[in-house]
Amino acid sequence: MPDTAITDLDALESRISADIAAAADLAALDAIRVSALGKKGEVSLKMRELGKMSPEERQTMGPALNGLRDRLNTALEARKASLEDDALNLALARETVDVTRPAAHRRPGKLHPVSQVMEELAVIFADMGFKVAEGPDVEDDFHNFTALNFPPDHPARDTHDTFFMEAADGDTPKVLRTHTSPVQIRTMMSEQPPIRIIAPGRVYRCDWDQTHTPMFHQVEGLVIDKETHMGHLKGCLEQFVAAFFETSDVEARFRPHHFPFTEPSAEMDVRYERVGDAVKVGSGDKWMEILGCGMVHPNVIEACGLDPEEYQGFAFGMGVDRLAMLKYGMSDLRPFFEPDTRWSAHYGFSPLLQANLATGLS
Ligand code: PHE
């Protein structure tokens, strides 16, 4: 008797397996699953009969039925995965883009003013011997604050309106970098002086009004050498302002300031006025702060493993977006980061005209 029962099971298995292999879509496959393994499915009903069998019968039929159920489940899963693959491939095939098709509109893209200004900054500072360095947007407390001489729990950490990330297990919370100054630390810890770098990139602070957005751009500058002094800093920045605004008429002023990582520190403002909706540099009675700077604090040099008795230097950090506003006359920062193609068509730059010092920056 068990022998015929086993033969029946073999027939059942081949029938259901053939059905599974032939299932045309996920709905058909699910119907097969229900009719075989569902509550009232053929296999389930047979399993229910186990209770009525003699112990000897149960000893052969139990494992046989379990094995059948497991093999059918495996076959169902495999067929399901392959049907899902087919569906995905079909969708992908339907959605292919013919990249050789000619453009429908003659509307070439424009370079964002921030990209343009970054390009211009790299060109100006490369001419003064600076190379470009980079660091991550997600920073740790050490590089963003501690090594930059922010004491623990110092209120200066709050004035940065820092976005703190949730801490991973056993780790201190990471931050979205509030300035590009952590690249100073990364550079001093990985390179030997003399150092001359600029570090462009995104920075983040929780702030939102006409001249502040939660993500904006800075360029950091760092020079570390044996005899660098404040005069070099001022000369370098004045040369930069003249080159960037492509005129010698720009008036810049230095104001004493405080940063934990520089001593002495200053902020530099540029004279400007509003003409209608636009912004014009060089005249007027308003000043826009464009950068912070100073001589690198000995504690910072020491935190990076260099000897402050031997090395010194200067650093500066400037707002790229503000520079773009001043140079190209926008009065509101917020549309920089809104997806309005009318704005980019108006303020954008031709991607084919690269900034260079020989033929003019812009
Ligand atoms: N990191 C400062 C800021 O974001 C700018 C700065 C950079 C000041 C380097 C001094 C030196 O405001």
270-300 pLDDT tens trace: 888 888 877 788 888 999 899 999 999 999 9
Most confident of 37-51, 104-118, 124-138, 336-350: 124-138
Give me the DSSP letters along 273-336: EEETTEEEESSSSEEEEEEEEEEEPHHHHHHTT--TTT-EEEEEEEEHHHHHHHHHT---SGGG
Residues 132-164 pLDDT 10s = 999 999 999 999 999 999 988 777 677 668 888
CA of 317 to the centre of ligand 1 (A): 4
CA-CA-CA-CA torsion sign (287, 291, 292, 296): negative
Q: What is the residue with the minimal CA distance to atom 4 of ligand 1?
A: 179
- pLDDT at residue 3, rounded to an integer: 62
| pLDDT value of position 30 | 95
Q: Which amino acid is at 132?
A: V
Percent of the chain exceeding pLDDT 90 equals: 63
Q: Indicate the angle between helix axes 2-22 and 42-49, nearest 10 degrees.
A: 160
Q: Is 204 in the pocket of ligand 1 (CB under 6 A)?
A: no
Please name the fold of domain 113-347.
BirA Bifunctional Protein; domain 2 (3.30.930)
Q: Read off the pLDDT of each residue in 100-126 and give the average, rounded to a whole number.
A: 87
The Å distance, Cα 6 to ligand 1 centre, comes to: 81
- Kind and range of the H or E run holding 243: helix 230-245
The answer to whether residue 359 scores a pLDDT higher than 80 is: no
Peptide bond connecting 194 to the previous residue in cis, omega within 30 degrees of 0: yes
Query: Mutation test of ligand 1: which of 157, 215, 259, 316 has the most ligand atoms closer than 8 Å to its C-beta?
Result: 259
User: Is 125 close to ligand 1, i.e. is its CB under 6 Å away?
Assistant: no
For residue 265, give the ligand 1 atom closest to its CA: 10
Nearest CA to ligand 1 atom 12: 292
Closest CA to ligand 1's atom 7: 317
pLDDT (tens digit per residue) in 314-357: 999 999 999 999 888 888 888 999 888 889 889 998 877 777 77
Distance 311 CA to ligand 1 centre (A): 20
- Least confident window among 43-57, 71-85, 227-241, 269-283: 269-283
317 pocket-lining for ligand 1 (C-beta < 6 Å)? yes
Q: What's the chain's average pLDDT?
A: 90
Q: What is d(CA 211, CA 13) in angstroms, rounded to the nearest whole number?
A: 72
For 17, what's the count of Cα atoms within 13 Å in the CB-facing half-sphere? 13
Note the pTM of the prediction, 2 decimals.
0.69
CB of 130 closer than 6 A to ligand 1?
Answer: no
C-alpha 45/C-alpha 123 separation (Å) is 79
Q: Which helix (H) or strand (E) holds 149?
A: none
C-alpha of residue 347 to centroid of ligand 1, in Å: 28
Of 104 and 22, more confident: 22
